[in-house]
């Protein structure tokens, strides 16, 4: 039962991250996802210090606020003439440092382990259950991640057309009257929420892997956005199942193993994708070369 809960949590994390990650990849903001996932650390710690407990809601709020602040700072620095990659680098390292310093200074009050923040402890998920009305409702993490996943499904589902247009052609979207900036911040809010809901399970850094890798893999396999979204969620589930198996075989971190599996899946897609894979391209090139060789003498 426990392993089932762990796999379910992992699958939910990977699917919800992969789902939003598709949009990040299409908008070339993968590193912004990385930045947000690092930068929410101070938000989590401050929410912790204020609420004094590990309640999910204050953490979600704190993280969402800091996540939006990160995006805002990056944009502000970019507008004042700093290159965007440097702006991302300066912002997230600064915020992450603030978080680490806060954790270290209030180590007694804050029941947060830095290792746990970095690579999560999905193995303890089944024991941290949520009781409601005296009933055991199952692991809290499942509810948190599942809830956030539902929210992002709902928001993206409602505004799918707008998100799609903003991802592929922001100028056109602005021209037809879609508030591009609003959707940008909406997406970033969803990313922050998902990140913080997932971070307990997989840790701040591996969230990035879940955000980027399934989406990138799906991007190599299809040319249609909604297919890409489904594939990335499916890959997330695969990562979770195989990652859990790998981790129990090696007796290592489950989150790390999930990332490693996602890396392997990406490598497979990179090599063998029917249209964009390296092998398919090589075969196509060879065919063209052979054709050329056959047609050339004929033309002379």
Contact footprint for other proteins (CB under 8 A):
25, 28-31, 33-34, 38, 77, 80-83, 85-86, 88-90, 93-94, 96-98, 100-101, 104-105, 107, 114-115, 118-119, 203, 205-206, 208-209, 211-213, 215-216, 219-220, 246-247, 250-253, 255-260, 262-263, 266, 270, 276-278, 281
CB-based contact 156:19 (threshold 8 Å): yes
Question: What's the burial of 145, exposed, middle or buried (CB within 10 Å: 0-12/13-18/19+)?
Answer: buried
Pick 175 or 282: Cβ nearer other proteins: 282
Residue 22: which residues within 8 A CB-CB, separation 6 or more?
215, 218, 219, 225, 228, 229, 232
Please report how close the Cβ of residue 196 comes to other proteins at its closest, in angstroms: 17
CB atoms within 10 A of CB 16: 29
Distance in Å, CB of 107 to other proteins, minimum: 6
Beta strand pairing call for 135-139 and 129-132: antiparallel
* Shortest reach from residue 41's CB to other proteins, in Å: 10
**Cα distance between residue 268 and residue 114, in whole Å:** 33
Nearest distance, CB of residue 191 and other proteins, angstroms: 13
Beta carbon nearer to other proteins, 56 or 217: 217
Output 146 or 203, the one with its CB closest to other proteins: 203
Rounded Cα distance between 33 and 194, Å, is: 11
Closest CA to 260 of 245, 277, 281, 270: 245
Tell me how far, at minimum, the Cβ of 220 lies from other proteins, in Å: 6
Minimum gap (Å) between residue 293 Cβ and other proteins = 24
Name the E strands within the chain: 129-132, 135-139
Residue with tokens 């193995």: 123
Query: Within 10 Å of residue 268's Cβ, how many Cβ atoms?
Result: 13
Question: In whole angstroms, what is the distance from residue 107 CA to residue 89 CA?
Answer: 26
Please, which residue, 33 or 138, has the CB nearer to other proteins?
Answer: 33
Indicate the residue among 96 and 199 with the shorter CB distance to other proteins: 96
Residue 146 vs 208, nearer CB to other proteins:
208
With 0-12 CB in 10 A as exposed, 13-18 as middle and 19+ as buried, what is 29? buried
138/214 with CB nearer other proteins: 214
Nearer to other proteins, 156 or 260 (CB): 260
Min dist. Cβ of residue 207 to other proteins (A): 9
Q: How far is the CB of 8 from other proteins (least distance, A)?
A: 20
């Amino acid at each position: 039962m426990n392993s089932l809960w762990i796999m379910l949590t992992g699958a939910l994390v990977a699917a919800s991250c992969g789902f939003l990650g598709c949009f990040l990849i299409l908008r070339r903001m993968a590193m912004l996802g990385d930045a947000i996932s690092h930068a929410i650390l101070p938000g989590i710690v401050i929410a912790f210090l204020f609420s004094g407990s590990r309640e999910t809601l204050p953490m979600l709020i704190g993280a969402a606020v800091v996540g939006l602040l990160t995006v805002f700072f990056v944009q502000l620095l970019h507008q004042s003439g700093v290159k965007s990659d440097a702006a991302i680098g300066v912002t997230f390292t600064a915020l992450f440092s603030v978080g680490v310093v806060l954790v270290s200074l209030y180590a007694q009050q804050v029941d947060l382990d830095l290792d746990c923040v970095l690579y999560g402890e999905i193995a303890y998920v089944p024991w941290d259950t949520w009781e409601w009305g005296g009933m055991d409702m199952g692991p809290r993490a499942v509810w948190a991640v599942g809830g956030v996943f539902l929210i992002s499904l709902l928001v993206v589902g409602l505004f799918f057309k707008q998100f799609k247009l903003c991802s592929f052609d922001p100028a056109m979207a602005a021209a037809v009257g879609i508030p591009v900036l609003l959707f940008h911040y909406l997406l970033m809010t969803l990313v922050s929420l998902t990140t913080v809901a997932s971070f307990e399970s997989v840790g701040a850094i591996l969230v990035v892997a879940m955000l980027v890798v399934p989406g990138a893999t799906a991007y190599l396999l299809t040319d249609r956005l909604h297919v890409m979204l489904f594939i990335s969620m499916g890959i997330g589930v695969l990562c979770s199942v195989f990652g859990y198996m790998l981790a129990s075989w090696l007796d290592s971190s489950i989150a790390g193993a999930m990332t490693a599996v996602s890396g392997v899946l990406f490598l497979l897609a990179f090599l063998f994708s029917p249209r964009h894979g390296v092998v398919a391209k090589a075969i196509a090139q060879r065919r063209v070369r052979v054709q050329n060789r056959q047609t050339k003498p004929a033309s002379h």
